Amino acid sequence: MSTQDHIYAHFHPDERAFVDRAWEWVLRAAEAHEQRRTDFLDPRQAFILTTLANRHPDVQVRLDGGYTGAERCRAYIAPDYAYISDEEMGILVLSVSSPDRKWIELEHGDFLGAVLGLGIKRDKIGDIHVADDGCHMLVTEDIASYLDVHFRQVHRVPVLTQLLPVTQLQPTQVELKPMSFTVASLRLDGIVSDVFRLSRTKILAPIKAGRCKVNWKVEENPAAQLKAGDVISLQGFGRFKVLEVEGVTKKGRTRVTVGIYA
């Protein structure tokens, strides 16, 4: 088995394109002494990159999403001898506000959709913090000025923007809507069907088609077992987190509590 095939064996086939890019970054840092700053990575991509970097003793990786506890982070990849803790990560805050009363109806997905609608790639956007009086969106500095000029509407609500340094970020707590129910088992298809109120029959197709992710990794096995702490997303429906797996009822069913992302 070649080195590349051995690496592929640890990841889902759909992840090969990113694995190839990440491994190239690692090799160039180790062999060509290059230093590179990536765009925003989701937690799964960050895991893949750090896993590959750990395979090479001459490479180090720093992850930074603009604040402690960030979900989406940029990575700085460099030879092990480089001092990178003070390197600029190129992150700015796009502050969004509106005098329109309909602002209160806007949600995380509305802001993300509005940005993507401008032709901006998802990896240019970090975490999005929505509050009653405004929204702080972490963005890469190379597209910040463009957004400041062109980002003027969110779901038909007119908005104003301002660029701020990352030190002025006002993070918000992620809101999870709790939902409890009992299941016969902790199978992926059973829990997803209960959360999104879809029949088992309708849930099988999107899972097998690769539209479901568990902890940001594609999961095509409907029988995969979930556990507390897992984050599940279904394309087109949203995502939720398994908060707690409680005891078994008298009828032999397991009580599960999940939190649905707003």
Whichever domain contains 13, its CATH number is 3.30.1370.160
Check residue 102 and give its pLDDT.
87
pLDDT digits (tens, 9 = 90+) for 192-242: 999 999 988 899 999 999 999 999 999 999 999 999 999 999 988 989 999
Residue 94 backbone phi and psi in degrees, to 5:
-95, 110
Domain closes at, from 135, 168, 201: 168
Between 99 and 92, residue with greater pLDDT: 92
Q: Is residue 56's pLDDT more than 50?
A: yes
Same domain, 253 and 182: yes
As a whole-number percent, the residues of the chain with pLDDT over 90 amount to 75
Cβ neighbours, 10 Å, residue 2: 7
Question: Among 151, 168, 185, where does a domain finish?
Answer: 168
Is residue 29 within 8 Å of residue 111, measured between CB atoms?
no
pTM of the model: 0.84
Mean pLDDT of 85-90: 94
Which domain CATH number covers 222? 3.10.290.10
Residue type, 202: K
DSSP string covering 128-172: EEEETTEEEEEEEHHHHHHHHHH--EETTEE-EEEEEEGGG----
- Quick check: 258 pLDDT over 50? yes
Is residue 1 over pLDDT 50? no
| pLDDT at 175 exceeding the cut of 70 | yes
Asked, for residue 85, whether it belongs to a domain, the answer is: no
Instruction: Give the pLDDT of residue 3.
Output: 57
What pLDDT score was predicted for residue 188?
A: 95
**Range name among 37-46, 58-67, 168-177 with the lowest pLDDT average:** 168-177
Q: Is the pLDDT of residue 157 over 80?
A: yes
Would you say residue 86 lies in a domain? Answer: no
User: How many domains are contained in the chain?
Assistant: 3
**Does residue 162 contact residue 93 with C-beta atoms inside 8 Å?**
no
Which residue range is the domain that position 139 belongs to? 91-168
The stretch 17-40 carries a mean pLDDT of 95
Residue 114 is assigned to a structural domain of this protein: yes
The one-letter amino acid code at 73 reads C
- In this structure, are residues 45 and 248 in contact, taking their beta carbons and an 8 Å threshold? no
Q: Which of 112, 48, 93, 57 is nearest to 75 (CA)?
A: 48
5 pLDDT tier (thresholds 50, 70, 90): low
Cβ pair 169, 69 in contact under 8 A: no
Could you report the per-residue pLDDT of 181-195, keeping only the tens digit for each? Answer: 999 899 999 999 999
Sheet holding 36-41, edge to edge: 36-41, 73-79, 59-64
Final residue before a domain boundary, out of 145, 168, 191: 168
- CB contact at 8 A, 43 and 215: yes
What is the identity of the amino acid at 190?
Answer: G
CATH number of the domain enclosing 117: 3.30.70.330
What pLDDT shows up at residue 234? 93
